[in-house]
Structure 1
Amino acid sequence: MTPQSTKKTFGYIRVSTVAQNLDRQTDALVAQGIHASDIFSDKLSGARQSRPGLDALLRVVRPGDTITVQSLDRLGRTALHVLQTIADLHERDIAVRSLKDGEDLTSTTGRLLAGIIVHIAEWERNMNAERVAEARAARASRAQAGEQVAGRPRTALTPAKVEAVRRLRESGMSPSAIAANQGISRASVYRALEHHQ
């Protein structure tokens, strides 16, 4: 029978520029009993996507472990990214503890807050998926209606088509009616008329 693995507490610290010092955050975590070798760090802007220190930590932590930070904003580049990171850790059964007052997610109130955060992050993911699906459906609908999609080549105007557009226009038909009659866009109608002139 394999013995149950011991729960561990890791630390994560981050500063926004190379010029800034990590010592204050390191000292705060060491004072909480976290060994220096278990503290992962990054020296870069929170706006950057890749953070090697946090990525390495996320590969090491296991269910039941705890990640301690000085404040929750160290975990993400935006408020939404912080929420999503916390939600992902919560789903992996990894606790998040902040030394900043009111941010400890390992307390009773904090666990309730973590549950709310999970639902907010899930809601945001669903909203993003819906926006992508709606945009895709709108593009497909426009394509079926015969509208020109950005980046696609213009409809070819044959000499016969140009002549037909000219005759219909001379008969008094509007550009919109000509477009519908000939199965082309209004822009193609105007191009045909310009070509004739």
Structure 2
Amino acid sequence: MSNQSTARTFGYIRVSTVAQSLDRQTDALTAAGIDPKDMFSDKISGARESRPGLDDLLSRVRSGDSITVVSLDRLGRSALHVMQTIADLEERGINVVSLKDGENLTGPTGKMMRGLMALVAEWEKDMNAERVAEARAARAARAKKGEQVAGRPRTATAPDTVKKIKKMKERGLSVADIVAQTGASRASVYRALAS
């Protein structure tokens, strides 16, 4: 039996939070002729490395099969990751179809577009890595000068910090002022005042 006669069309849908509904994407894939039993889904951020629904789908698809999505961004956590996923699937003989206008990646034009998108995604990744490195260097330089470095607020558990917070409150400072002056979190300030 040839791949053509046994080829299957699957659907993949993803939303970023459990509070969001899969209904819109499910309806779009159903309208495109995908059987709901052949749809795989995740309610998880695209930034997460592991997506159980997509992982399950990728383990089931075979050469000649197709995966349909509402939009290509559902397939990955970044433009580069989406392009890598599509390239891996194409290498396995699996076609990716997007219902979103302008996202047809089949044929020679699609191949050229994938190449351009991969270049842009690689550039985006390099620029992001450069920005992260610059931000780390700037934080390290500020820390050396003894400046407060942005990040998670400090907790106020040391006895001297608790005393300082209580004295500030006795002087009439608001919790917001104490937070601003000490760098402690609002919750820590309330805990210190209650102790």
Q: Could you tell me the TM-score, scaled by structure 1's length?
A: 0.56
Which has the greater radius of gyration?
Answer: 1
- 2:18 alignment counterpart: 18
Equivalent position SS for 1:14: strand
Matched, 1:4 2:21: no
Equivalent position SS for 1:40: strand
Equivalent position SS for 2:110: helix
Confirm or deny: 8 A CA contact 2:13 2:74 kept in the other structure.
yes
After superposing on structure 2, the runs of 4+ consecutive aligned residues of structure 1 that deviate more than 4 Å are: 117-121
Give the number of aligned pairs: 122
Q: What letter is aligned with 1:43?
A: K
Confirm or deny: 8 A CA contact 1:42 1:51 kept in the other structure.
yes
CA apart distance, 1:113: 2.8
CA apart distance, 1:118: 9.4
Residues 112/63 of structure 1: CA separation in 2 closer, same or farther (3 Å cut): farther
CA apart distance, 1:93: 1.1
Unaligned runs of 5+ in 2: 127-195
Counterparts of residues 46-195 of structure 1 (less than 5 Å): 46-106=46-106, 109-114=109-114, 116=115, 120=119
Confirm or deny: 8 A CA contact 1:87 1:118 kept in the other structure.
no
Q: Could you tell me the TM-score, scaled by structure 2's length?
A: 0.57
% same residue: 67
Confirm or deny: 8 A CA contact 1:73 1:79 kept in the other structure.
yes
Alpha-carbon distance in 1 for matches of 2:76, 2:18: 18
CA apart distance, 1:94: 0.7
Q: What letter is aligned with 2:56?
A: A
